[in-house]
């Protein structure tokens, strides 16, 4: 068993790099309680009929792992996301320009920490009050298709990105 640098549990990180070859810090998760597995997606019922669940709970990857690492692992740090945005040459797009496939990042109140990420599936239109639908992964739970503001994360500080 290979332990981490200070004797902590084994690293379960995998080789993941930006397009410029810089390593992306990551860790695969396996912690999910029997209750969470048993409850499955029932806990999301409070978000109403506007959401659609598209996968089972899975602790291996988180939202950033879904958005940027092919569902293989968890990426935690805002610095790592910024590294990806920079190296992969993502550019911010305005709400008016948003298209399906664009990445959406949810920031905390400070505007610095990236709390959540997902992928746009429908463009914002007047009919949807200019609110796009996105799919994203909620914690260790499932991937969910939801209106931008129909989720547990702060929708008032979001930014959209695209690789041009």
Partner 1 sequence: MDLRILNLPELRRIYAVSNTPSYLLRHFRREPSVKELADSSTASELYSCATRPASRRTLDGLTTAYACLAALTFKRTPDIERLAKPDDLADLDWGWSVLEAWRRQSKPTTVLHGHGLRKVR
Q: Can you give the binding site for partner 1, defined by CB under 8 A?
A: 4, 6-9, 27, 29-31, 33-36, 39, 43, 59, 62-64, 74, 76-77, 108, 113, 115-116, 137-141, 152-153
For the CB of residue 112, give the shortest distance to partner 1 in the complex, in Å: 10
User: Largest Cα–Cα distance of the chain, in whole Å?
Assistant: 56
Token reading at 45: 């019922």
- Residue 28 vs 122, nearer CB to partner 1: 28
For the CB of residue 96, give the shortest distance to partner 1 in the complex, in Å: 28
Hey, how many other C-beta atoms are within 10 angstroms of the C-beta on 161? 20
Token reading at 56: 């089972």
Residues 104/87, Cβ–Cβ less than 8 Å = no
For the CB of residue 160, give the shortest distance to partner 1 in the complex, in Å: 18
**Cα-trace Rg, the chain:** 16
- Residue 63 vs 145, nearer CB to partner 1: 63
- Residue 15 vs 42, nearer CB to partner 1: 42
- Residue 36 vs 88, nearer CB to partner 1: 36
For the CB of residue 37, give the shortest distance to partner 1 in the complex, in Å: 10
- Residue 41 vs 122, nearer CB to partner 1: 41
CA dihedral 90, 54, 142, 93 (to 10 degrees): 20
Hey, how many other C-beta atoms are within 10 angstroms of the C-beta on 137? 25
CA-to-CA dists, residue 25 to 8, 16, 76, 94, 145, angstroms: 16, 8, 8, 29, 27
For the CB of residue 162, give the shortest distance to partner 1 in the complex, in Å: 22
């Amino acid at each position: 068993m290979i332990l981490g640098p200070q004797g902590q549990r084994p690293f379960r990180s995998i080789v993941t790099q930006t397009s410029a070859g810089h390593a992306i810090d990551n860790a695969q998760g396996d912690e999910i309680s029997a209750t969470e597995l048993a409850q499955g997606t029932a806990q999301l019922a409070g978000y109403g009929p506007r959401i659609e669940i598209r996968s089972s709970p899975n602790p291996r990857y988180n939202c950033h792992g879904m958005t940027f690492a092919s569902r293989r692992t968890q990426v935690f740090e805002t610095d790592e996301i910024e590294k990806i945005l920079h190296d992969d040459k993502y550019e911010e797009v305005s709400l008016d320009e948003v298209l399906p496939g664009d990445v959406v990042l949810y920031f905390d109140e400070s505007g610095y920490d990236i709390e959540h990420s997902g992928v746009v599936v429908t463009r914002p239109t007047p009919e949807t009050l200019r609110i796009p639908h996105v799919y994203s992964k909620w914690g260790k739970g499932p991937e969910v298709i939801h209106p931008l503001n129909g989720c547990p994360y702060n929708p008032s500080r979001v930014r959209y990105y695209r690789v041009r």
